[in-house]
Amino acid sequence: MATLPTSAHSNLATQSKFISSFIYSNTIRRNSRRFFISTSCSSRARRQLCVKTVATDQKDAATQTQEGSLATFPPDSASLASIIKYHAEFTPSFSIESFGLPKAFYATAESVRDMLIMNWNETYEYYEKLNVKQAYYLSMEFLQGRALLNAVGNLELSGAYTEALKKLGHNLEDVATQEPDAALGNGGLGRLASCFLDSLATQNYPAWGYGLRYKYGLFKQHITKDGQEEVAENWLEMGNPWEIPRNDVSYPVKFYGEVVSGPDGNKQWIGGENVMAVAYDVPIPGYKTKTTINLRLWSTKVAPEEFDLHAFNTGDHAKAYAAIKNAEKICYILYPGDESVEGKSLRLKQQYTLCSASLQDIIARFERRSREPVKWEEFPEKVAVQMNDTHPTLCIPELIRILMDVKGLSWKEAWDITRRTVAYTNHTVLPEALEKWSLQLIQELLPRHVEIIKLIDEELIHTIIAEYGTEDLDLLVQKLREMRILDNIELPDSVLEILSKSEESSAVDHIEEVDKEAKATDEEAQSEGLDSEKKKEVTFEPDPKLPKMVRMANLCVAGGHAVNGVAEIHSEIVKNEVFNDFYMLWPEKFQNKTNGVTPRRWIRFCNPDLSKIITKWTGTEDWVKDTEILVTLGKFADNEDLQSEWREAKRRNKIKVASFLKEKTGYLVNPDAMFDVQVKRIHEYKRQLLNILGIVNRYKKMKEMSPDERKARFVPRVCIFGGKAFATYVQAKRIVKFITDVGATVNNDQEIGDLLKVVFVPDYNVSVAEVLIPGSELSQHISTAGMEASGTSNMKFAMNGCIQIGTLDGANVEIRQEVGEDNFFLFGAHAHEIAGLRNERAQGKFVADPRFEEVKAYVRSGVFGPYNYDELMGSLEGNEGYGRADYFLVGKDFPSYLECQDKVDEAYRDQKRWTKMSILNTAGSYKFSSDRTIHEYARDIWRIEPVVLP
């Protein structure tokens, strides 16, 4: 193990000079001097120089600050080494005996955090001073990945830190691998949120993120002979060097209790269970800017007085700890299983904790910045709240509750402010995203919020009646069934009164009509009677057989001023299918904001070899912030020099991937084979099952051929999978098991050798993606058309020159447009065909391709081991029924998929053509920077402006 070059037992005065040199230099920097004080100076000399410099500069510091001309010069490697040494001794998480990689990481991260805090403080103070409008991004997930390399890269200190750690006996890349991924997210939803924070800081937009500080995250995935196994994530075991506990920032969050009316008629929520949400701040640095914004994470606890000391002393320890554990468990797990009532209750507690603590914090900051008296009508002019999917929906009734019950505003005022403040991003059309909660559960947990939701529902019903009238009751019933927030719940009294008056009016009109047509024939009279019977059948009564639910997505649409989809095709589905009735009522609310990814993390830092080539051929490094410059690459796509450099960079990345796979799985793969990758959350609609069945077909055909025929027919491939199946999603876990079983058989088949390998990478996360994506050559985005809202991994792959095979779904549509149809492998049914194809299946008209039937039989033959795959294969059979009938159309798209894979092989054999396609994918990825996405949010939804620090 390495040891610190200086004695680990040197005294505090000697060691403190390492950190004080940096602090003094920062003081001078903030007063416009353009140098860094050498650590060889004595503390006394530094102090004298600092005082002299500050005194000299006081005359013109204000002028220079106004002009924004303060220059900043980063510390040199010797100074950074000194600061790292200081933290290794004085802010240790490890014993003092050695300076191994883990300790080196924490000391290095803490040294970086020093600089981030300085920039964070300046950013925060400047925003407070200007009282700018801020956006607040609320998300249950922030999938950040490792922060060290990203932070030093954004601060432009990669070279200095590399040299500093060399002086201390370590390599920066090795030190960075010691950092665990922050377990705050699962998939694209959380990664998008983190990309957005990077872009917000880089573009100098005033914004904060709000989330929860999960102790164990989702889970750590182990792959065993039985498939996926879940164990608790340990990312906080050694502490998180990036977070700053704010023990002075905490807010009460209440559950249960009852609502009472005060003497003045105002409502009060009393009693129940109380927990405290405590803030932990994570600084988020921008690229080549001092702007450093904040991700504020909430952790839950109870006040010490809630600890039952008497029960503990009498031996009833469980009772004494009950309140503490009840509060702490709220932030234990991301997405706790909700099969049980307890699980549902815990998940709802999580969502409300995020909303309540965040809004209390936002309102406190608004009040602090405002002049007395507070003008609440200006709240939407200073605050924009973005709900990332339906998880933060309770922001809407919570904001109204605080404004009415705590701040004393009227319903009308609170409702108006809320609608102008809150906006909603829809991420998918799947039921789990369009959340529904039991009214009974919310009533028990959040009784005041149910009252407010009922008011919002009543307001919405009146709006619907005003739009459609009461003449056509069938139409009205249809609209209310689709649009109401409260599902299968009786109508409010105010609405029943309107309908009652409408029925009385209709009866009078009917009598007058009968008088006018007294001479009508008996047949006509009978027809009239039938029509009357139909009218009597129209009912607004709830069905006692069905549950009473609260539809959170409908609440989002009704309670906010903007609704956006995340890809062009998805936004059209949102308008024309998912929320069509709302779109017809409020077309101005609906927008598209195609997702994006940060080019800093997803190419500049994770793929330095390719980045250098891009900089060389575009003539500038500005593409890292202005990705439209990438289009320039298209002009050189046929250039043999560029192609040669491009292929060499890709091969170096493939060698890294091969080494990584050997370390993580034990499998040896050939870096000269095509690397074919599908990494994302395991879900039936994402169709990893289609991919692995295609591989099974490939393997089966290989086994039927001679060695020479195989080599002539098939391009060598390494097929790589990665992703987590939710712990209670049985079918997804079967798919993981199936993939690993296929891999175990294929990879040990000596006849096939390097011609085909199948590898499942365990515990897929951001850091794994940063290794796999640069080395990938073909990436699979093969969801059933119309079911993937956007996708972001497809953008990362394209940005790194990886060619894609996919359906016309989500952002695939726009990627194909930008990279060129000839540079994208397209297959499968289109979104507008899906409903008809499912109906065809239900009617028993679907005829499967013979190859599909052969593959299923091959799987059932036991060639991939003794596991019984009848349930998995059975889900692809039949015409209807839960878990059957191939709802995601694997069988329908199977022949198209196989034929498209043949085209992939053909293209890969021509390496010049393939390299050109790769270059054009990177050139065409310019549109998919999260910088562009954030600019559109800021301009169209939040209406905030960049604020550049002086």
300 has which bridge partners? 277
* 422-425/563-565 β-pairing: parallel
Quick one: angle between helices 43-57 and 12-30, nearest 10? 10
8 A C-beta contact, residue 931 and residue 627: yes
Q: How far is CA 871 from the centre of its chain?
A: 32
Cα pseudo-dihedral 28, 31, 32, 36, rounded to 10: 10
Give the 3-state secondary structure of residue 438. Answer: strand
On whether the CB atoms of residues 944 and 205 are closer than 8 A, the answer is yes
807 assigned to active site: no
Quote the CA–CA distance of 551 and 564 in Å, as a whole number.
18
CB neighbours of 695 closer than 8 A, spacing ≥ 6? 719, 742, 746, 756, 758
Of 625, 680, 737, 816, the active-site residue reads 680
Residue type, 229: E
Give the H or E element holding residue 34: none
Using omega within 30 degrees of 0 as the cis cutoff, is the peptide bond preceding 587 cis? no
Pairing type for strands 717-722 and 756-761 reads parallel
The tokens for 873 are 């294969």
427 flagged as catalytic: yes
Specify the DSSP class assigned to residue 78.
H
What's the rounded Cα separation, in Å, for the pair 719 and 759?
6
What is the gyration radius of the CA atoms in the chain, in angstroms? Answer: 31
How far is it, in rounded angstroms, from Cα 838 to Cα 423?
34
Task: Using DSSP, state whether 133 is helix, strand or coil.
Answer: coil
Measured at the CA of 493, the angle between CA 492 and CA 497, to 5 degrees, comes to 120
Quote the CA–CA distance of 84 and 73 in Å, as a whole number. Answer: 19
Q: Which of 33, 427, 589, 717 is catalytic?
A: 427
Residue 123: enclosing H or E segment and its boundaries? Answer: helix 101-130
Pick the catalytic residue: 792, 915, 922, 933? 792
How far is it, in rounded angstroms, from Cα 884 to Cα 888? 10
Cβ(934)–Cβ(207) under 8 Å? Answer: no
Q: Which of 215, 654, 687, 796 is catalytic?
A: 796
**Cα–Cα dist 308/324, whole Å:** 10
Assess whether the previous peptide bond of 373 is cis (omega < 30° from 0). Answer: yes
The catalytic position among 146, 401, 686, 916 is 686
Catalytic residue chosen out of the listed positions 681, 698, 892, 932: 681
Q: How far is CA 821 from CA 808, 829, 903, 917, 919, in A?
A: 11, 17, 13, 10, 14
Distance CA 58, CA 61 (A): 5
Report the SS3 class of residue 164: helix
Beta bridge partners of 781: 806
Rounded Cα–Cα distance for residues 345 and 446 (Å): 11
Active site residues: 427, 680-681, 686, 792, 796
